[in-house]
Each structure stands twice: as structure tokens, then as C-alpha cells.
Amino acid sequence: MEKVLLFIDRLSAGVGKAFGWCIIVMTLGTCYEVFVRYVLRAPTNWAFDLSYFMYGALFMMAGAYTLSRNGHVRGDVLYRMMPVKVQASIDLVLYIIFFIPGFGALLWYGIPYAQVSWQIHEVSIYSPTGAPVYPHKTLIPIAAFFMLLQGFAEIVRCIVCIRDGAWPSRLHDVEEMESAILHEAEDRRRIEEELHVGAKQ
């Protein structure tokens, strides 16, 4: 089961990192717009659409990646002090009551929503260029699918944690500064204890 969970983590990471390139496109488009607007006095009529669509795509498609790294914002003042079995129980209840129905509805209604948009070749009414929005709306059910898939992995992790009393492994990219400092202090303390024991011998 651990291999399946880590495979889902890698899949979510691959999708999230692929759409991470939207940041580069958005940044380049915004820099170009600033240059031509304020230096050349020739603003574009597509830069806003570009940044709008790139940010929206990134926001939707990086959600499963963030969930796979346990990186979503959490009000964990009390949560972090609870035993892991209690944490897993709380998470499991919340996934079942809120997460699965919410993203299930997004997938269920998102598919016909995107289909209609493709059928009429929908364009943005707020765009001076009439930018097409049907490719963007297609990302809604796709993002919901990846979130549900990652949510399944998180539910399994909760069940395993309740059973075993420890969270199963997950992939990590970066470490919070607080955790890094704690690990460094723990390593330093362990080395000092080893040196102290060695000196006594």
C-alpha cells in the first residue's frame, strides 16, 4: 500500500511541477507588459488575460501537489499538540464529511460545465481580445480528479495512522525552517552525547 501512496504523491507532484511553469510564463508576460506600457507607451491588450489564466491554472492544478506534501494552511495551534491517532481521526472525519463531497461535486458538475464551454467555444466577456476560456474550464474537473485521487491517499494514511499509531511516510520537497532548526539541534545534541560518552571511556 505504501508504494501506491507514494506513486499518487509522485503523480500529484509531477502535475503540480508541470503547471509550476505557469509562474514563469506569467512573470515574463507581466514584465513585458510593464516594459511596453511604461517605457514604450504601447500597452498590450493580452497581458491581463495571460496572467489571469496562468494564475488560475496554477492555483487549480497545484492543489493536489500541495496536499501530497501536507502543505495546505491549517489552524494547528491545538492540532499539533494532540496524539497522532487523534490527529488522524480528525483528518479522516473532515475528509469524509467535507473534502470528498466537495471535490466530488466539483468533478461531477465540472465535466458538463466544461463540455458546454467547448460546445459554444466560450470566450471571456471581460477580455478585450475575446480570450477563449473553454481550455481553462476544462481544468476544473481535471483538478478535482487529482484532488480526489490525492484525497484517497490521505484517507488511507489516516486509517493506517489510527491503526499503527504513526503517520505513514510521504514524499517531501522542502522543510520548514522550524523543523530544520529542530532537526539540527537534535543532531547537535546527539553528537555531543556521543562525544561525551567517548570521552568518559
- In the chain, where does DSSP find H-type helix? 2-19, 21-38, 47-61, 63-68, 84-94, 100-119, 134-164, 177-200
Count Cβ atoms below 10 Å from residue 118 Cβ, excluding itself: 13
68 closest CA partner among 7, 2, 144, 150: 150
148 closest CA partner among 111, 112, 120: 111
Backbone dihedral angles phi then psi of residue 35, each to the nearest 5 degrees:
-65, -50
pLDDT of residue 78: 84
pLDDT of residue 46: 87
How far, in Å, CA of 99 to CA of 94, rounded?
Answer: 7
Per-residue pLDDT of the chain (201 residues; tens, 9 = 90+): 788 998 999 999 999 999 999 999 999 999 999 999 999 998 888 888 888 899 999 999 999 999 998 888 777 778 888 899 999 999 999 999 999 999 999 999 999 999 999 999 999 888 778 889 999 999 999 999 999 999 999 999 999 999 999 988 887 775 555 666 666 777 777 777 777 766 666
pLDDT of residue 105: 97
Report domain extents, the chain.
2-170
Contact 58, 23 (CB under 8 A): yes
Nearest 5 degrees, angle CA 45-CA 53-CA 60? 170
